[in-house]
Structure 1
């Protein structure tokens, strides 16, 4: 390959990456304007909840020590909860709910594309010193995770566990 061809390839790659950059925004105010309507899509770990159905709020703090407090939460199958998330750090953090495999795949993408745009009902991006929230219905029993997938945070251990106990059919 000639030096001229190499320079041309590098210039093309840089141009394409710069053209894509605006579409890869990541953060709590990525879309501007009014929030988009919540799309309810069944996931292995549940579905977006209706705020009117919330009977319990679970407060989760996150910080620059790359930890969640608490890092384990227990819910009952069918329960709709509000996760009240507080970023006590000086860095942007997020809370994303998912299966370990889903979070691993998403974390790998975030390392490759740290400014990747995503805004789903099972994730909250929280600026330093601010609060955010998720309303989620855990309608499938099992053990799931929540994590901060900002590049380097997940790899540093910023992960928690959601234990969804099966609904007790004997109790109303």
Structure 2
């Protein structure tokens, strides 16, 4: 439709405003809340791309919209993965429950040249526990607790274990009684609660 200067001032179709005739072309009251010349109010760029997707337009979205959609989806995947990692870390950091009465708990001690790792072992009084001695040293080592009648001996590269129950709470000295090892610092503590 051709619009001459006279009809242009009065005919809203010439202005491209068929649905909302303006009071004045420059007046804010000419267009309803946010509408400017038949264009809807602006929304976020990514949302605008999602709102234009219809079944008949799939595959025909602009490259810019596809990139925005890809960015939004990638952000959602990263956020979901981060949330999953936080939940997994919280589950792994949850305190472990002590073994119920009658069940054996395991305590692993690694022996190296003239040290125990961990140097302090904690167990519950009256509950059986399995003590595992893993010798990662080049010479033989042992764990000896005289007051609790505990003795384990392992050659180089060996792993040995024994199940023990200590009835009395207290702190006991553990040591490697092979000559020279205790003097070299191969000692620790067994704490019974």
1:157 equivalent in alignment to 2:185:
yes
Aligned counterpart, 1:59? 108
Point out where structure 2 has 5 or more consecutive residues left out of the alignment.
Answer: 1-101
Aligned counterpart, 2:159? 131
Asked if the contact 1:147–1:158 (Cα under 8 Å) also holds between the matched residues in 2, the reply is: yes
Alignment of 1:104-143 (within 5 A): 122-143=150-171
Q: Compare relative contact order (CA 8 Å, sep 6+) and give the higher one, 1 or 2.
A: 1
Aligned residues: 92
Q: 1:131, 1:73 → 2: CA distance?
A: 17
Q: 1:98, 1:54 → 2: CA distance?
A: 24
Higher strand proportion: 1
1:95 equivalent in alignment to 2:132:
no
Higher helix proportion: 2
Larger radius of gyration: 2
Point out where structure 1 has 5 or more consecutive residues left out of the alignment.
Answer: 1-52, 103-120, 166-172
Q: Alpha-carbon deviation of 1:54? A: 4.6
Task: Give the RMSD, CA atoms, in angstroms.
Answer: 1.7
Length-normalised TM-score, structure 1: 0.50
Aligned counterpart, 1:44? none
Corresponding residue SS for 2:191: strand
Aligned counterpart, 2:125? 77
Q: 4+ residue runs of structure 1 moved beyond 2 angstroms?
A: none
